[in-house]
Structure 1
Amino acid sequence: MKITEPQLGAPCWAELGTTDISAAGAFYGALLGWTPGEPDPEAGGYTMMSLGDDAVAAATPLYQEGQPVAWTASIAVADVDATVAKAKAAGGSVLAEPMDVFELGRFAVLADPTGAVLSLWQARQFAGAARLNETGALCWIELRTRDTASAQSFYTDVFGWTVNAG
């Protein structure tokens, strides 16, 4: 489905932190039909991935020593700073403090109380993925954890999500 503005509290973007952006572009191009854009030198090599003409995800270099190769989902929020405060109060930790990304938006990186990493995105000029819930685009995120009680408490407190056991 085409996305024209983010739905607050819902996933809006996914990015892969990787040691080899070129190989990731080739792999996801073959698998999902994505076309990698040019790496942005102003953003440390950040590379948008598109499905047709629509941005759907990104690949980025690893920014910290010891950072694992992994996908990170971003959740759309109205106010990154306020959401970071809620996350801290709910037992989360901040891995990257809120910061502006040019004129595109504002983001922060968190870890929930179980250690799962997620990003927050406050859209300005860039809303996030232009397509969701269709072939080749982000359609589901799932958390596997050994501490479901802590995770459930965190996500319901911070984002107002509900939990369906079962």
Structure 2
Amino acid sequence: MIDEFALIERIRRRIDRRDAALEVGPGDDAAAVRLGGGRRMLLTTDALVAGVHFDPAAEPARDVGWRAVAANVSDVAAMGGRPRWLLLSLALPEDTAAEWVEDLVEGVAAAADAAGAVVAGGNLTRARDLALHVALLGETDSAPLRRCGARPGDRLFLSG
């Protein structure tokens, strides 16, 4: 398979339909949309697929849910934003235990609470392979921090 960043660039070229409000598009930690009054909405999404990103037989479902939210919160925080609302989409094989899903959702809810975000909705669908997708909307009152914005002498802070 092609390198992730090369693939992102190829996709970006195909979908680049500029909007005056879109300040940061594909290729950074999150997209940023100007809302007016100096406010920006930050949008990001990540997927976790069983057998690729986690092993449902070996990793507690609560931990998987927490990690799915944390990945998105990290993207919004990296851009200087506050997480606000998230959507959870679950693709579940027929034999998925309801208890496993409940534990996963407990992890999602706990991580959202810890980050100050609210689970605003989502989607359930049947699938051959177990997967979850989180979309997170955040906000900031200043220009988003960009991957390309670091300069020599800047301070680097690590969290987590």
Please indicate the TM-score interval, normalised by the length of the shorter structure.
under 0.3
Bigger Rg, structure 1 or 2: 2
Higher helix residue share:
2
TM-score of the superposed pair, with normalisation by structure 2: 0.27
TM-score of the superposed pair, with normalisation by structure 1: 0.26
